[in-house]
Amino acid sequence: MPAPTRTQIADIRGASRMLFDATAGVVDVVERMHRTIQRRPGPLGESIDEATAGITGFVYRNVRGGMRLLGRGLDMSLAPIAEMLPESETTAGRDVFVSILNGIYGDYLARTANPLAIGMSLRHDGAAIDPEDAAAAIAGGARGPAGNKVLLLVHGLCMSEHQWIHEGYGHGSALAEEFGYVPLYLRYNSGLHIAENGQGFAELLETLVAHWPRKLTEVAIVGHSMGGLVARSAVHFGSRNGQTWPALLRRLVFLGTPHHGSPLERGGDRLDYLLDLSPYSAPITRFGRLRSAGIQALRHGAVTLNSEEIVPLPSQVACYAVAATVTSRRTPLAERLIGDGLVPLDSALGRHSDRRRSLHFPKSRQWIGYEMGHLELLHRAEVYAQLRAWLEEPA
Question: Model confidence over 370-388: pLDDT tens digits?
Answer: 999 999 999 999 999 999 9
More confident residue, 73 or 26: 73
In a domain, 172, yes or no: yes
Question: Cα(first)–Cα(last) distance of the chain, in Å?
Answer: 56
In a domain, 282, yes or no: no
* Average pLDDT value over all residues in the chain: 81
Q: What is the total count of domains within the chain?
A: 2
In a domain, 41, yes or no: yes
Based on the domain organization, do 228 and 332 belong to the same domain? yes
Based on the domain organization, do 82 and 226 belong to the same domain? no
The whole-angstrom separation of Cα 303 and Cα 309 is 9
Domain boundary among 44, 74, 91: 91
In a domain, 109, yes or no: no
CA torsion 209-210-214-216 (nearest 10°) is 40
In a domain, 351, yes or no: yes
- What CATH number does the domain containing 316 carry? 3.40.50.1820
Based on the domain organization, do 86 and 135 belong to the same domain? no
Based on the domain organization, do 133 and 249 belong to the same domain? yes
- Per-residue confidence band for 230, with pLDDT thresholds at 50, 70 and 90: very high
What is the model's pLDDT at position 133? 86
In a domain, 97, yes or no: no
- Per-residue confidence band for 279, with pLDDT thresholds at 50, 70 and 90: very low
Based on the domain organization, do 30 and 143 belong to the same domain? no
Any alpha helices (H) in the chain, and if so which ranges?
6-39, 54-84, 92-111, 134-139, 171-179, 194-211, 226-240, 263-275, 285-288, 293-297, 332-333, 345-348, 381-392
Q: Reduce the DSSP state of residue 112 to 3 states and report it.
A: coil
Question: Model confidence over 122-154: pLDDT tens digits?
Answer: 999 888 999 998 877 676 555 556 688 999 999
Question: Model confidence over 13-57: pLDDT tens digits?
Answer: 777 776 767 665 555 555 565 455 555 554 444 555 555 556 666
Based on the domain organization, do 182 and 318 belong to the same domain? yes
Per-residue DSSP letter, 308:
T
Distance, C-alpha 164 to centroid of its chain: 14
Domain that holds residue 325: 121-262+298-392
Could you please report the per-residue DSSP string of 246-294? GGGEEEEEEES--TT--HHHHHHHHHHHHHTTSTTTGGGHHHHTTS-HH
Closest among 194, 328, 363, 312 to 262, alpha carbons compared: 194
Distance, C-alpha 122 to centroid of its chain: 15
What is the model's pLDDT at position 334? 61
Give the bridge partners for 169, in sequence order.
166
- Per-residue confidence band for 276, with pLDDT thresholds at 50, 70 and 90: very low
In a domain, 173, yes or no: yes
Closest among 307, 328, 327 to 337, alpha carbons compared: 327
CA 117-120-124 angle, 5° bins: 125
- Count other C-beta atoms under 10 Å from residue 280's C-beta: 18
Based on the domain organization, do 377 and 241 belong to the same domain? yes
40-54, 55-69, 268-282, 354-368: the lowest-pLDDT one: 268-282
- Count other C-beta atoms under 10 Å from residue 268's C-beta: 18
Based on the domain organization, do 242 and 312 belong to the same domain? yes
pTM: 0.82
In a domain, 288, yes or no: no
